[in-house]
Structure 1
Amino acid sequence: MSTRYALLLDVDGPIASPESRRVRPEITDALTRLSQAGTPLVFNTGRSDAFISQTVLPGLTVGSEGAPIHAICEKGASWFTLTSSRESELHVDESLVLPEALRSEIRDLTGEFADFMFFDETKRAMISVEQNTDVRNELYQRVQAGFDQKAAEAVERHGLSDRVRLDPTIISTDIEDSRVGKDLGADRALELLRADGLDPADYVWRTVGDSRTDYAMADRLHELGLTVAHVDVRPSDGIPEGRPYEVLTYEGLLHDDAGLAFLEELLASLGQPGQ
């Protein structure tokens, strides 16, 4: 019997280019064919449902006999399903939504840095700012440190330091409830698959990401006794030592180049070579 795989996918990096913020057609095609071949796909991302709907899902289809495709957004704070008739109802965990007063202050603060970043109005629970696409990443990261300091001071002024944390990435800063994370997203993913009538233990799992925080996906699945390996498409961020599962990398390939290589390799192992 051939191996059955299930995928838990970060979006920025392995699926969408951090530079263009777009998904290349070859990746969309590979994801569609994996679903049609019976591979459950779950996006586990800090991105909003709007970004997934507008950037990742166009061109991605699941047939009536295909495996499910789920989107866990804002690191577990919201989620929805892609079906043969397109998207299902969006669910939001209201306990993870940050106060509007803090959101308003961070929106105003972002205006002081408007030459370098923008406020993401599509987030429903967390608060995020993101690098302008016409700004060099090295410049953005230098300015980002100043923004993060002022944002942390705002969190403290609102008396939220015990509940809220800042999570800077290479192109953004997320201000979020401390309970969200890629491990919470993994838990949501398993709940959704069980609701589909699938047993997560029937699959060999591959988690895919571009930062050290993405290892929390594989950590959680391994902790629950599932068979998993992690695909790191940006190992220069640092591979944590002592992980009890295999870590896969693609030498000479970065971000969505490595993500595409992984997807095509997986298709080939299922007897469906890339087109």
Structure 2
Amino acid sequence: MSSTPPFALLLDVDGPIASPVTRDVAPEIISLLLELAISGIPVVFNTGRSDEFIKRQVMGPMITSGMPENLKIHAICEKGATWFTFDSTGAGEVHIDHGLAVPGHYSDEIRELVASKFDDHMFFDETKRAMVSVEQNIDAANHEYRRAQEQFDSAAMDAMARSGLGVERLEVSQPDANEEISYRVDPTIISTDIESVELGKDLGARRTLELLVADGIFPAEWFTVGDSRTDYAMADWLAQNGHRVSHVDVRPGDGIPAGKPYPVLTARDLGLGQDIIHDHAGLAFLRHWRAQLD
């Protein structure tokens, strides 16, 4: 039997859901996510985080808070490279697109690079299955991390070149011998992801649709939520494929891209100040959507 809920939520995790400072998810956010899902609203996570992070920071608290037996939640991780579904009993099989993984020898080199030169400011994320990621130490000052990040990113690009791999970072491109770019160094405010150029929030959106269609769920409208410019790719893909969508930007200070064919919402649309960002803005929108169901 198919269903058409009034809307669905496609959520980035770092920023809108998890605090970028503590990496924790507030209990009220967990509660609202559950209330919305129980009310029939599809709640899907589309994140660069690993499946282990989602299991620990999102799935575990949702189950502990009283997740019903018949409810299931989809999680697209590592920007589409891995995905799994969880219910009140825990996580199902983790699916991995091995063809999109960074070469193992490169991963080993980056692990050693972090340990030898950058461990005062960042750590190597051992939970990633396809991407290579480093993340700011919680006890490191962000402004100091950002300076170290630039040096790390440059070293990561150099390591790609030594391996004969084409790579890009923001506006800088280093093609391989065949003039091709296969990988991306993608800096965020608390991490750097090194990944296949085929990964992205648009791939996560496509995988989300595939999972919901298999469930017989066809939302009438979508709200995508993110804290970076790359998160707009979720809404871009949905709009390009004929879906009605609005994007919520919980950190619009970086600038809202012009000319988007869909509404872009910020905390100001809820009557809140421009200082309400990240998970505080995410919480405000979850409260708003929950109220719409009453």
- Report the TM-score when normalising by structure 2: 0.88
Q: 1:10 aligns with which of 9, 12, 22?
A: 12
1:167 and 2:186 correspond: yes
Q: 2:83 aligns with which of 70, 79, 84?
A: 79
Q: 2:264 aligns with which of 243, 247, 254?
A: 247
Residue 203 of structure 1: CA displacement?
2.3
Q: Larger deviation: 78-87 or 215-224?
A: 78-87
1:105 and 2:109 correspond: yes
| Preserved CA contact (<8 Å) 2:5 2:217 | no
**1:184 & 1:57 partners in 2: Cα distance?**
22
The residue aligned with 2:213 is: 194
Residue 51 of structure 1: CA displacement?
0.4
Kindly provide the CA deviation profile for residues 217-252 of structure 1, in whole angstroms up to 9, marking residues without a partner as x.
000000011010000000002110011111110133
Q: 2:157 aligns with which of 125, 137, 152?
A: 152
Residue 63 of structure 1: CA displacement?
2.3
Please tell me the residue identity of whatever aligns with 2:143: E
The residue aligned with 1:132 is: 137
- The verdict on how the C-alpha distance between 1:39 and 1:3 changes in structure 2, with shifts beyond 3 A counting, is closer
Identity of aligned residues (%): 57
Residue 207 of structure 1: CA displacement?
0.2
Residue 181 of structure 1: CA displacement?
0.2
- The verdict on how the C-alpha distance between 1:256 and 1:132 changes in structure 2, with shifts beyond 3 A counting, is same
The residue aligned with 1:63 is: 68
The residue aligned with 1:265 is: 288
**1:149 & 1:85 partners in 2: Cα distance?**
43
Please tell me the residue identity of whatever aligns with 2:262: Y
| Preserved CA contact (<8 Å) 1:13 1:255 | yes
The residue aligned with 2:178 is: none
Report the number of matched residues.
267
The CA RMSD over aligned residues, in Å, is: 1.3
**2:131 & 2:256 partners in 1: Cα distance?**
27
The residue aligned with 1:34 is: 36
The residue aligned with 2:125 is: 120
1:213 and 2:230 correspond: yes
Kindly provide the CA deviation profile for residues 107-150 of structure 1, in whole angstroms up to 9, marking residues without a partner as x.
01111100000000000000000000001111100110000000
| Preserved CA contact (<8 Å) 1:48 1:122 | yes
| Preserved CA contact (<8 Å) 1:45 1:75 | yes
Please tell me the residue identity of whatever aligns with 1:153: D
Residue 86 of structure 1: CA displacement?
2.2
Residue 179 of structure 1: CA displacement?
0.2
Please tell me the residue identity of whatever aligns with 2:220: Y
The residue aligned with 1:225 is: 242
Q: Unaligned regions of 5+ residues in structure 1, if any?
A: none
- Report the TM-score when normalising by structure 1: 0.94
Task: Please state whether the residue corresponding to 2:41 is helix, strand or coil.
Answer: coil
**2:61 & 2:113 partners in 1: Cα distance?**
37
Moved over 4 A (4+): none
Please tell me the residue identity of whatever aligns with 2:106: L
Residue 83 of structure 1: CA displacement?
2.0
Q: Unaligned regions of 5+ residues in structure 2, if any?
A: 167-180, 268-272
**2:243 & 2:13 partners in 1: Cα distance?**
22
